Amino acid sequence: MHTAFIAQTVPRNSSKWLLAARRCCPTPLAVLIMLVAAGRAMAGFSIEISVDGGPAVVYPDNGPDDVNKAPYDIQIDFEVGDVGKSWSAAGTVLATGGGIDAMPPVATIVTDTLIENIGGQFLFGEIRVVHNYAASGLFDHTATLDGQFENVLGNQIGYADLKMIAAVSGQGLGMLIEGPVSGLPSIQPFDGGTLGPLTLPTTTKHEITLQFYLGDPGDAIRLFDSAEIHTVVPEPSGIVPSAFGAAIILAWRRRSRSRLRPQPVAADTG
């Protein structure tokens, strides 16, 4: 996977890298080293999604799975689950900003997501999302979480809890915890609050880890708005965030908030 990813992300003007390599040290090995370095540089703009500590699937900017073809803005519609097929999750990751000008805002958003117990047993799961970008300068980083617990079969919630662990370039923002919820009617909204701000210099990575327990069939976690990390210029500042990036984030928020919360299907009483 890593080798294929590097091969996909060699810049289109790779001939310039080859020419530079030949001029400084014209050996085949030197050319290969320059190409690999170029690939890694471009690989900085990507999303990685992994499940239960397993290997990550890498989605490069403007790759075949990227719905948003604008440079440095990535939208991945995903479906994942565990090996034992006891839970499934489907949703969208939206990553924006940190482009060639390295200017904020940078955002990583897990939204319109449903995580559901489909195996009928008390289970634990983990989904990890990483946004690789490039942003230089002194920025404030915050993280937020909101959504609801429910049972998609219309039953009471057997058991559900959720933890969101947020980090920026290996520096922890902290953890937001929701639940546990047990024996309550579906639906139970939550608003996990905000982590940060954490002020850091140049950064290259947002990391969101969602850990959850779901007890009974149909027990679920729904993220309508998002689990997200934002990177912005500290206040006060004369720098105005990118209007394009800000507009994308605002449009997604309006889209998700305008949707009607689906009501659970009534349980079949026979």
Structure token pair of residue 269: 């009483």
The number of CA neighbours under 13 Å toward the Cβ of 80 is 25
pLDDT in tens, 139-197: 899 999 999 999 999 999 999 999 999 999 999 999 999 999 999 999 999 987 899 99
Residue indicated by tokens 């950064």: 203
Q: What is the pTM of this model?
A: 0.73
Report whether 85 contacts 105 (CB < 8 A). no
- Residue 28's pLDDT is what? 34
d(CA 270, CA 265): 14
Which region, left, alpha or beta, applies to residue 3 given φ > 0 means left and ψ of -120 to 50 means alpha? Answer: alpha
Q: Tell me, what DSSP letter sits at residue 263?
A: P
- Residue 21's pLDDT is what? 33
Q: How do the domains of the chain map onto residue ranges?
A: 1-43, 45-258
Residue indicated by tokens 């998700």: 256
Q: Tell me, what DSSP letter sits at residue 152?
A: T
- Residue 233's pLDDT is what? 79
- Residue 50's pLDDT is what? 98
- Residue 171's pLDDT is what? 95
d(CA 48, CA 266): 37
Residue whose C-alpha is closest to residue 62's, from 70, 53, 52:
70
- Residue 224's pLDDT is what? 85
- Residue 120's pLDDT is what? 75
d(CA 266, CA 250): 34
Task: For the chain, state the CA radius of gyration.
Answer: 21
> What are the Cα distances from residue 27, in Å, to 7, 33, 34, 197, 262?
20, 10, 11, 48, 62
Structure token pair of residue 230: 């934002």
Pick out the chain residues at pLDDT < 70. 1-44, 100-104, 235-270
